[in-house]
Amino acid sequence: MIIVNLDVMMAKRKMSLNELSERVGITLANLSILKNNRAKAIRFSTLDAICRALDCQPSDILEYIPDTENEEKKDER
């Protein structure tokens, strides 16, 4: 499973969802879906824009967790 740590990176950069939305050109609704791990996919152009706005690497935002750990991670939430 891929986990989106967008909220962590935004906190590190002290950037609000509104500010990131404006910088990247994505609606708040779509950015919120991504931030809350409900997105099924992300375009590379979107990922590129987010990384540019947050001055980070894709690996700072996306994390892979094998399925065996996936169930444990869900239980923690």
Confidence of residue 68 (pLDDT cuts 50, 70, 90): confident
pTM for this predicted structure:
0.82
Domains in the chain, number? 1
Average pLDDT over residues 52-72: 87
Beta strands in the chain (DSSP E): 2-4, 62-64
pLDDT digits (tens, 9 = 90+) for 2-16: 999 999 999 999 999
Q: Domain residues for 67?
A: 2-76
More confident residue, 68 or 22: 22
The answer to whether 37 touches 4, Cβ cutoff 8 Å, is yes
Residue 69's Cβ-count burial label (10 Å; 0-12, 13-18, 19+) is exposed
Look up the CATH number of the domain holding residue 46: 1.10.260.40
